[in-house]
Structure 1
Amino acid sequence: MKIDLQRYQGIIFDMDGTLVDSMPLHLKAWQLTAQQFGFDYEHDWLYSKGGTPTLGIAKQLNVRQGTNFDPQQLVQQKRTYFDQIRHQVSIIDATFELVKVHHGAKKLAIGTGADGRTTDFIVSTLALGPWFDTIVHADQVSAHKPEPDTFLLAAKQLGLEPKDCVVFEDTATGVAAAKAAGMDCYLVEQGRITQFFTP
């Protein structure tokens, strides 16, 4: 589809599944965690929770499946599995090409639901830091996607109004957060930019 970013002063990218191909790694870590704890591994539901911090997913999983696991134990085990494979993360070309094209001409940010530890590892591993003016992760906001706080903080740190920013996201949760922030949003699906949404 045609991507027209001319009218925006800032571009905010989600990280997992949008800027970097890490969602399969997160899902594999959840699958292994499900096997260990004995709950149902729901691939599509877990994918839809992209942008939600791991602790939030663990709590929602208990409600969804009627289980009573210690959310912190689920988080710790999922992170352990993810840490074993996280080095396999790679760039998504379609969105990173936009980063390269607009770097220096527009203000660029990452707004992710990943925690600071995971964000720092991925940003460092893929040398993303120099490309972005600011990076907002889950530890920096109290309300997470689909709430708008992540994107609103990113816009604030860029020194821009929400209406002057556009978001790239890969899940309905992320799109909802962008809309709630008053920002236009492009959807990324399987490494391709496929749809455009307005608030």
Structure 2
Amino acid sequence: MNFEKLLQYKCLIFDLDGTLVDSMSFHYGAWVKAVEPFGFVPDREWMYKHGGVPSHKIATILIKEHNLPFSDPHELAGIKTRHYLENIKNVEVYPVMKELLDYAKSHSIPMGIGTGTLRTNAEYIVGNTILKNYIRVIVSADDVSNHKPHPDTFLKVAEAFNAEPSESAVFEDSFFGFEAAVNGGFNLIKIVDGVPQF
């Protein structure tokens, strides 16, 4: 794949789950386990559409729609996170994205992550995969008040690199991530099954 288009950007900003790493199935599986005691299975398509949305916000929706016995959505989100952490060690970087990272690094283009996942999870994945050799900045769900589709997550990464949105590329796989990139004035590159759609 030809990555020359990347040379025009001052920095590259990546979503994490479903963009750099093949982890959405682990997130979905963790939600399935978390709500299994309540007799329903969350819709896979709906869950994938809400990729990039912090777990406590998804929990809030599930509690309301299914009348779940939680007064604090963070409690249900915590159950989901525990199930997710059981498999986090199995998360792998998409091969084509690895090639892209190598190209960007060889041309000294700074790279950061803007994710809706918790900082502890994001740092674990980056620290325990090859991503630690490429990623200089992580902005997580813990670092902003307004999450995707608000652009704040990506704006904070760009700010760390002293780059304007128009000088930056955002790589995303989810609908809310697409919106966040467009809302922030970034150059959006969609990721489909781990492959950038240049």
How far the C-alpha of 1:177 sits from its partner, in A, is 0.5
Is the 8 Å Cα contact of residues 6 and 104 (structure 2) preserved in structure 1?
no
2:158 partner amino acid? A
Poorly superposed stretches of 4+, deviation over 4 Å: none
Change (3 A) 1:163 1:52: same
How far the C-alpha of 1:159 sits from its partner, in A, is 0.9
Q: Which residue of 1 aligns with 2:83?
A: 81
Is the 8 Å Cα contact of residues 133 and 158 (structure 1) preserved in structure 2?
no
2:110 partner amino acid? K
Q: Is 1:27 matched up with 2:28?
A: yes
Q: How large is the RMSD of aligned CA atoms in angstroms?
A: 1.7
Structural mapping, 1:1-199, within 5 Å: 4-63=5-64, 65-70=65-70, 71-103=73-105, 104-194=107-197
Alignment deviations for residues 46-105 of structure 1 (CA, whole Å, 9 cap, x no partner)? 111111110011112234x25244212211210111111111100111222111101152
Measured in 2, the distance between the counterparts of 1:164 and 1:11 equals 9
SS at match of 1:12: strand
Of 67-76 and 106-115, more deviation after overlay is shown by: 67-76
Alignment deviations for residues 145-184 of structure 1 (CA, whole Å, 9 cap, x no partner)? 1110000000000111111001100101101010011001
TM-score, scaled relative to structure 2: 0.91
Measured in 2, the distance between the counterparts of 1:125 and 1:166 equals 25
SS at match of 2:113: strand
TM-score, scaled relative to structure 1: 0.91
Q: Percent identity?
A: 35
How far the C-alpha of 1:41 sits from its partner, in A, is 1.2
Q: Which runs of 5+ in 2 are unaligned?
A: none
Measured in 2, the distance between the counterparts of 1:158 and 1:5 equals 16
Measured in 2, the distance between the counterparts of 1:86 and 1:184 equals 30
Measured in 2, the distance between the counterparts of 1:117 and 1:110 equals 13
2:122 partner amino acid? T
Alignment deviations for residues 123-165 of structure 1 (CA, whole Å, 9 cap, x no partner)? 1110422312211111111110111000000000011111100
How far the C-alpha of 1:35 sits from its partner, in A, is 1.1
